[in-house]
Structure 1
């Protein structure tokens, strides 16, 4: 390991599977589905065709102080919760023994949509009760940089606070951005990841109208999200956050930090093809994976596992399988966590990046939930039903977003 390698020293998450990293990972390994019916009056009031989602396992109100809940949008709340766990896990939480200078600390947290719950709630208040009832905190609660800004304020980060917005690739793009900052020597530590919490009327209606979302399993929510399955018919909306603490290897070693693995390389590309559909031959996605391998100094043969973006859509899952074969080959073992916890949009890449790292650390690949009949167009080894023990030295995490954003992250063992 060289002095400017990028290492992972802290992990944090809150997801539909659990309120922290450990319970989320346990849920993935168990193949559990966290999708359930939305018990909210607005579902019936709006006559939404989709009545299910992957909702948080632990409500932020159970974790945060009342004043924090009141002043933060839900996507900011989950970012704070995940960041606190990651910061603690990295051994950086003791205020009397600061381990990093504020000027050498950056925060990068992406989101695909931002404070949609606040925006819609405050618009209802404006329409029904007038301008004087609108919260003065509306703008800082709805702005997409809110999660990054609030975490940066809490950690007193003065090395930069950034908020990539790259649709469903946002969390992975944040990790890639952190990698670049550390490699350039701009900072010593980066707190990076993604946050999303927009299970509400407009996102559900909009995704339904564009026929991207599963609408056939309202009475059987646990089996709705089916990545790579021949009978899949769209994704299920989820919510949550995933955060990693990234450090320069020399800085982590100097402070005696525990290293859980390396973010060894990154690759980004764009399709320039369609605002929502992936390029069907997987060319742009394959370029991102190839770039990640190149920056990590890895060959395709080194990669034993790919944690797929696979959202459970007809077009997207097949295009990704094609791109994996182009960039890496037929040998990797694949999985798709969205079968467990739906699609976390801007948080997906960060949470799934954590799962990729843990697969290497623990030597086990979690099964793809609800995969019963593999699509005939996917001629790859996709884990289903039971976790699989696999000795891994390197793995790739894919994240793709509307607009043709492609991000691939290469992780290796410590």
Structure 2
């Protein structure tokens, strides 16, 4: 069965160098990189204690370059939520990014009141966070001699942490739904670096089967940056030069980034009828898993091809109709080559397929990687410009003799504008999303059940109906039940 078109009616983000989607697009269009050295105080240990060389990297990192979010405190407003500001203030910035980004997307969609038939799906990996480490320190210190514990806690060096920060995986989605009055449910998922596109696909399913009228989907990634740098150096996956160079022969690894991105989604027919803004139209999403392969972190060409093929099958369009592919391309030589070979198989009948990767601008945002690429494509569609990918000077041999062309300079993008976005993750999670410019979008199809779902009655409740179940008020607990 065909995929009923889904409209993107709102956007939100907190990214390196940009605290809103338009700012992010301005950076991409201008060819700016937001990769910098670690800001003062972001690492929990002195720099000289953790920096090492490539030959001496046990519990060390050879670089502190990354995509870091800065200045967020100046734009985040804890007022106006259905949860009191004092209940928000002591939470990890990860929670704040989710609240801010989801509210941005809903506001852009014109939805600023509680939505009984609105929901949230959040990609969120269970990485250690700075506040999680602080809580562990507090527990450890509490077991020491009372005079030592009291001196450290009262001295300001180790303020008493908020215990809710232990729940950094599942609680952010629940808190955002409560704080913004989303009554159709909220939950988190972990599909590694494909998480945000998995969240979008499952949000589309909710819209297709009629259990929601508006969904927000995306992901957040704010792990302890030192943990990531040391951990990925241990895997020999981090760039030794601190440069992100997707699809380049001289690339030597990925550069980490942090941030969050979200899109608000509605059925295209409903969005048009309600006069909502439409930034793009999702035509299909393909998901797959590699299954048995060569290893947990080894990419599979077959698995990626399967996800891409499923997206075009669902949309009922040919791959050669795509005029831009936003790739996963992290700058790891093996991973980029596997992705290039897979795309060469899928797009082999095309004459010219421009490709790129936002990793060169903001780094690899792990769970948020896919939605970052989607936000980049939405900006490109609005401006009619395919932006350059930074740092690619000598394309991989795997691209030779294929229609795939890395965009090393920006160029005009004539219509019809159709794009694809890929995201692949550890464990063999693969996702490929197909997107049309709203000006080129076809009429919406007759509503149908989601894949594997049951037919449902036509929705009767408007998108702005109050929640069917009361949203917990200011005094409600913010921690999940055991």
TM-score when normalising by structure 2: 0.78
**In 2, are the aligned partners of 1:3 and 1:249 still within 8 Å (CA)?**
no
In structure 2, how many angstroms separate the alpha carbons of the residues matched to 1:258 and 1:186?
22
2:76 to 63, 70, 86: 63
Question: Which position in structure 1 is the counterpart of 2:297?
Answer: 276
1:83 to 99, 102, 107: 102
1:163 aligns with 2:185: no
Matched residue of 2:317: which SS?
coil
Query: How far apart are 1:72 and its partner, in Å?
Result: 2.4
**In 2, are the aligned partners of 1:14 and 1:24 still within 8 Å (CA)?**
no
Q: How does 1:335-346 map to 2 (within 5 A)?
A: 335-346=356-367
**5+ residue gaps in structure 2?**
52-60, 79-84, 154-158, 439-482
Matched residue of 2:399: which SS?
coil
In structure 1, how many angstroms separate the alpha carbons of the residues matched to 2:240 and 2:130?
22
1:400 aligns with 2:424: yes
Query: How far apart are 1:69 and its partner, in Å?
Result: 6.0
Question: Which position in structure 2 is the counterpart of 1:146?
Answer: 171
1:211 to 228, 236, 240: 236
Structure 1 residues 296 and 138 mapped into 2: Cα distance closer, same or farther (>3 Å)? farther
In structure 1, how many angstroms separate the alpha carbons of the residues matched to 2:298 and 2:284?
26
Query: How far apart are 1:207 and its partner, in Å?
Result: 0.8
CA RMSD of aligned residues (A): 2.3
2:137 to 101, 124, 143: 124
Matched residue of 2:420: which SS?
strand
Q: How does 1:285-300 map to 2 (within 5 A)?
A: 285-300=304-319
Question: Which position in structure 1 is the counterpart of 2:408?
Answer: 384
In structure 2, how many angstroms separate the alpha carbons of the residues matched to 1:258 and 1:300?
27
Q: Which moved more, 1:108-117 or 1:302-311?
A: 108-117
**In 2, are the aligned partners of 1:238 and 1:343 still within 8 Å (CA)?**
yes
Q: Give CA deviations for 1:144-167 in whole Å, capped at 9, x if unaligned.
A: 123322221122222121211011
**In 1, are the aligned partners of 2:119 and 2:215 still within 8 Å (CA)?**
yes
Structure 1 residues 201 and 121 mapped into 2: Cα distance closer, same or farther (>3 Å)? farther
Matched residue of 1:294: which SS?
helix
Structure 1 residues 353 and 68 mapped into 2: Cα distance closer, same or farther (>3 Å)? farther
Q: Which moved more, 1:105-114 or 1:383-392?
A: 383-392
Matched residue of 2:97: which SS?
helix
In structure 2, how many angstroms separate the alpha carbons of the residues matched to 1:283 and 1:114?
29
Number of equivalenced pairs: 399
Query: How far apart are 1:227 and its partner, in Å?
Result: 0.7
Q: Give CA deviations for 1:244-272 in whole Å, capped at 9, x if unaligned.
A: 00001233233221212211111000112
In structure 2, how many angstroms separate the alpha carbons of the residues matched to 1:268 and 1:371?
28
TM-score when normalising by structure 1: 0.90
Structure 1 residues 114 and 254 mapped into 2: Cα distance closer, same or farther (>3 Å)? farther
Which of the two has greater helix per residue? 1
**In 1, are the aligned partners of 2:67 and 2:363 still within 8 Å (CA)?**
yes
In structure 2, how many angstroms separate the alpha carbons of the residues matched to 1:147 and 1:356?
27
Q: Which has the larger radius of gyration?
A: 2
